[in-house]
Structure 1
Amino acid sequence: MTTPWSQFPKTAPEQTQDQQPGLETQMNPRPIYDHPDYHFGNGRLKDKVAIITGGDSGIGRAVALAYAKEGAKVVIVYNNEHEDANETKQAIENIQGNCLLISGDLTDKFFANEIVNQTLETFHQINILVNNAAVQYPQNDITQIKDEDLHQTFAVNYFGTFYLTRAVVPHLTEGDCIINTTSVTAFEGNETLIDYSSTKGALTAFTRSLSANLAKKGIRVNAVAPGPIWTPLIPASFDAKKVSQHGANVPMKRMGHPVELAGAYVLLASNEGSYISGITLHVNGGTIINC
């Protein structure tokens, strides 16, 4: 009997994109965000409302669809990748799910309030926040990192997360949760992603500190740290040769696909994760993390 992942593309051909954080519609092969052998749909998130940043593609798309299958109403926050966002919305509506798209700039602190207001106006509550949106600008040397790229990386990856979390927390109640997407680079480091890795390290500390702060309210805060997952961020960040080698350096010797992370986010958002807070789940192809 074959396992689901044995059917997944293990590598990608050489390719690049010239836009951050990239477009899923331009990727070859397309990332797998749903799979018949990955079973969701037990009502674990019934009557919940989830906000997912970067939910238009990649990991965010897989999580959005899994949440919808589990009964949640989904709010997808994205920048300007309208084709990807509408494709995700259509996938959710194809299973009779409810999806609201909100486009804007997470680096604008006022946009966070707009997200909250639109969500409450449409769905009247917020129960789950998944901070997933990110950008990265690889450089071989710290002296090559441009100020504008450094500021943008922190503005999207960390400050955008902080602004939206700050706006959402007053609307969460006991049993609700926040899930942050960090990265294996926060724990291992990465010689060409110094600023990106730093933002993910900041999110790891943010997760631990906020979990302690909100524990008395019964609100859980956790993180997922992906390894080399096949998302639009990869061809939008690296040269063609490096893209074709994505995932080759982990013990499983392959890249992961977004659907392979969805279960981790479902666990952390559901009652099955009711006694889990302040931790990071590592979905990274077998890399051993010492932390």
Structure 2
Amino acid sequence: MNGPESHPPAQHQERQPGRQHAMQPEPEVVPEWTGAGLLRGKAAIITGGDSGIGRAVAVAYAREGADVGIVYLEEHEDAQETRRLVEREGTRFAAVAGDVGDEAFCREAVRTLAGEFGRLDVLVNNAGEQHLQQRLEDVTESQLVRTFKTNIFSLFFMT
């Protein structure tokens, strides 16, 4: 997309979480710039790092020299693309699949990634979900609970 007048068409997927690899055109993740090594020797966890903003952060951190661990729900194909992009930057990559709304999973994910890298320096709490409804009263209790577990509780569980 070149310029402010060129916008891709709006896209909507009927499932949670969405799949970045299914978007057409697929979002650009890696802008052209040279890292300065600002995160060399550091290790980062990025929740929701398989796609979207999380993937862009994972690649940017790798470009700055950080080893990158991502936590994602079940989008394995998207996670593999993030792996490819991070490793292309020359840093280590690890991924743990599971539900950040589950406290026990979060504790285990942090233990696993800390063990993989020997340290953890940065946490990016990026995972999130939403359930679009036409009217507020159409939001179900289960959707509300699920949203709070992912978007709010996970911040505490991961930290």
What is the TM-score of this pair, normalised by structure 1? 0.52
Q: Which runs of 5+ in 2 are unaligned?
A: none
1:28 pairs with one of 24, 36, 61: 24
2:141 pairs with one of 147, 153, 157: 147
Q: Are 2:153 and 1:162 equivalent residues in the alignment? A: no
Show CA shifts across 1:129-155 (max 9, x none).
000000001223221110010011101
Matches within 5 A, 1:181-200: none
What's the offset of the Cα at 1:33? 0.7
What's the offset of the Cα at 1:92? 1.2
Q: Which amino acid aligns with 1:149?
A: Q
Q: Distance between the aligned counterparts of 1:81 and 1:155, measured in 2?
A: 19
Decide whether the 8 Å contact of 1:77 with 1:104 is kept in 2: yes
Decide whether the 8 Å contact of 1:54 with 1:78 is kept in 2: yes
Most deviating of 94-103 and 60-69: 94-103
What is the TM-score of this pair, normalised by structure 2? 0.93
Structure number, greater radius of gyration: 1
Q: Distance between the aligned counterparts of 1:19 and 1:135, measured in 2?
A: 11
Q: Distance between the aligned counterparts of 2:4 and 2:83, measured in 1?
A: 23
Which SS does the other structure have where 2:127 is aligned? coil
Q: Distance between the aligned counterparts of 1:112 and 1:31, measured in 2?
A: 28
Q: Which runs of 4+ in 1 moved over 6 A?
A: none
What's the offset of the Cα at 1:8? 7.8
Decide whether the 8 Å contact of 1:9 with 1:29 is kept in 2: no
What's the offset of the Cα at 1:7? 4.9
1:86 pairs with one of 68, 80, 84: 80
Q: Which runs of 5+ in 1 are unaligned?
A: 166-291
Decide whether the 8 Å contact of 1:50 with 1:73 is kept in 2: yes
Show CA shifts across 1:134-188 (max 9, x none).
00012232211100100111010001111111xxxxxxxxxxxxxxxxxxxxxxx
Q: Which amino acid aligns with 2:19?
A: L
Q: Do the aligned partners of residues 14 and 130 (structure 1) sit closer, same or farther apart at CA in structure 2, a change above 3 Å counting?
A: closer
Q: Do the aligned partners of residues 14 and 164 (structure 1) sit closer, same or farther apart at CA in structure 2, a change above 3 Å counting?
A: closer
Higher relative contact order (CA closer than 8 Å, sequence separation 6+): 1
2:12 pairs with one of 10, 16, 19: 16
Q: Do the aligned partners of residues 144 and 108 (structure 1) sit closer, same or farther apart at CA in structure 2, a change above 3 Å counting?
A: same
Q: Distance between the aligned counterparts of 1:35 and 1:150, measured in 2?
A: 35
Q: Are 2:115 and 1:113 equivalent residues in the alignment? A: no
Q: Distance between the aligned counterparts of 1:129 and 1:150, measured in 2?
A: 25
What's the offset of the Cα at 1:113? 1.0
Q: Which amino acid aligns with 1:23?
A: R
How many pairs were matched up? Answer: 159
Q: Percent identity?
A: 42
Which residue in 1 is equivalent to 2:53? Answer: 59
Q: Do the aligned partners of residues 70 and 13 (structure 1) sit closer, same or farther apart at CA in structure 2, a change above 3 Å counting?
A: same
Q: Which amino acid aligns with 2:151?
A: N
Show CA shifts across 1:82-126 (max 9, x none).
000001101111222211011001111001111111112111111
